[in-house]
Amino acid sequence: MTITDTYGTSTYTAQQLADLLAERLPVTFAERESDYFGVYFLATLADATRIKVQPNAVPGDDGEDELLEDDHPDVSVLLIVTAPAEAQLLDTELAAVDGLTRLRSSQS
């Protein structure tokens, strides 16, 4: 079972948020690029927790950007944390980041 928490912000760019989190957490983000997500930042912790920082607007098939979180058009950057259910969650650390809001949490 995994837990996925999605956060959003318009206070930072994806690069700025990744840099800020790298200062506060024991993680190193790798810059990645994909046709679907564009440029994003990914870190994996020892307990298999994945932290992904990406723009909310991603390249669309028609050349126009599309929102991944279209319910939150005011959010420019997403932070997606996917962790095993038994992993120590990062709630406390992420709650301390100004301008970062939890949009949803789900289990699968």
| Domain over 2-107 is classified CATH 3.40.50.150 | no
Phi, psi angle pair for 86, to nearest 5°: -85, -5
Query: What pLDDT was estimated at residue 85?
Result: 79
Query: What pLDDT was estimated at residue 19?
Result: 97
* pLDDT tens for the 108 residues of the chain, in order: 899 999 999 999 999 999 999 999 889 999 999 888 889 999 998 888 999 999 998 877 777 888 888 899 999 999 999 998 777 768 888 989 999 999 999 888
d(C-alpha 78, C-alpha 54), whole Å = 5
Query: What pLDDT was estimated at residue 4?
Result: 93
